[in-house]
Amino acid sequence: MRRFSWFNATSLTLGFAFLYLPMILLVVYSFNESRLVTVWAGFSTKWYGELLRDQEFLDAAWVTVKVAVFSSTIATVLGTMAAYVMVRAGRFWGRTLFSGMIYAPLVMPEVITGLSLLLLFIGLGIDRGVFTIVLAHTTFSMCYVSVVVSSRLANFDRSLEEAALDLGCSHFAAFRLVTLPIIAPAVISGWLLAFTLSLDDLVIASFTTGPSATTLPIRIFSAIRLGVSPQINALSTLLIAVVTLGVITASIMSKRAAVAQARDEQAAIRAE
């Protein structure tokens, strides 16, 4: 029997209030009429209007989305390959180094990753901008993708793949027809993770960008260094709304996919 006491109820309530109140306040104050963010002067959506007319923010948002789409897509391909290598390729020369390079970026301070990549780009004489941020983001997010995908790969029944090979599939066809559909949920969540990591990154982008490309976090950071502003509140609210909708949709979809898969497996067992 699980005991649920007043103590637990209180700690959960206080805990979730701590997690959510700051963001709720941010959202509430984004609808504040006054420029002074701490004085309530009536409901208004004027900051949203101003935000949408601010060309600098719109440009930064466009750069950020471009970087996130490219880097998360390349990172998903590379990360899935890396996961496959880690789980399936067996022994090869330099395997320890390979797995070290997969795990190290996960715990590396961002300032170090950013600094080292910048020094590389300067050393090679590459012009810094969208391209270099994409390279940088791909490198750290492919490691997150490969961790997510390899845990799924390690857990599934390899005999399914072997059956496909016995039935005459090529290795690539077996991957496409059997393995990929099974690991698809992990690949998709890996992509989503890579996408949000890229959207979110300030430090690495600041190091690896040049004057031609300013991402949204860089723009936000330089604005909020000067203090709180209602326009940033409005922008934050929009970002929070997008993420919340995305996470809820993704979790409903993955729940449905899990139910469907369980049903298919049951049907397959009965058919035997």
Binders of other proteins among residues 57 to 116 (CB under 8 A) are: 78-79, 81-82, 84-85, 89, 92, 94, 98, 101-105, 107, 109-112, 115-116
Binding string, residues 232-251; x marks residues near other proteins by CB under 8 A: xx--x--xx--xx-xx---x
Q: Contact with other proteins (CB under 8 A): which of 1, 167, 269, 271?
A: 1
144 is an interface residue for other proteins by CB under 8 A: no
> Which 150-179 positions form the footprint of other proteins (CB under 8 A)?
171-172
End-to-end CA distance of the chain: 39
| Closer of 20 and 62 to other proteins (Cβ) | 20
Residues 219 and 57 sit within 8 Å (Cβ to Cβ)? yes
Residues 75 and 137 sit within 8 Å (Cβ to Cβ)? yes
DSSP-assigned beta bridge partners for residue 32: 43
| Closer of 69 and 238 to other proteins (Cβ) | 238
User: CA of 9: how far to CAs of 2, 3, 261, in Å?
Assistant: 13, 11, 35
| Closer of 36 and 58 to other proteins (Cβ) | 36
State the minimum distance, in angstroms, from the CB of residue 114 to other proteins. 9
Angle at the Cα of 44 from the Cα atoms of 38 and 45, rounded to 5 degrees: 110
Give the ranges where 89-109 is alpha helix by DSSP (H).
Answer: 95-107
Residues 105 and 113 sit within 8 Å (Cβ to Cβ)? yes
| Closer of 127 and 272 to other proteins (Cβ) | 127
DSSP-assigned beta bridge partners for residue 43: 32
| Closer of 204 and 271 to other proteins (Cβ) | 204
Q: Contact with other proteins (CB under 8 A): which of 122, 154, 245, 259?
A: 122
256 is an interface residue for other proteins by CB under 8 A: no
User: CA of 105: how far to CAs of 81, 116, 133, 142, 199, in Å?
Assistant: 17, 12, 16, 10, 18
- The residue type of 17 is A
> Which 207-236 positions form the footprint of other proteins (CB under 8 A)?
207, 217, 220-221, 224-225, 227-228, 232-233, 236
State the minimum distance, in angstroms, from the CB of residue 177 to other proteins. 17
| Closer of 38 and 55 to other proteins (Cβ) | 38
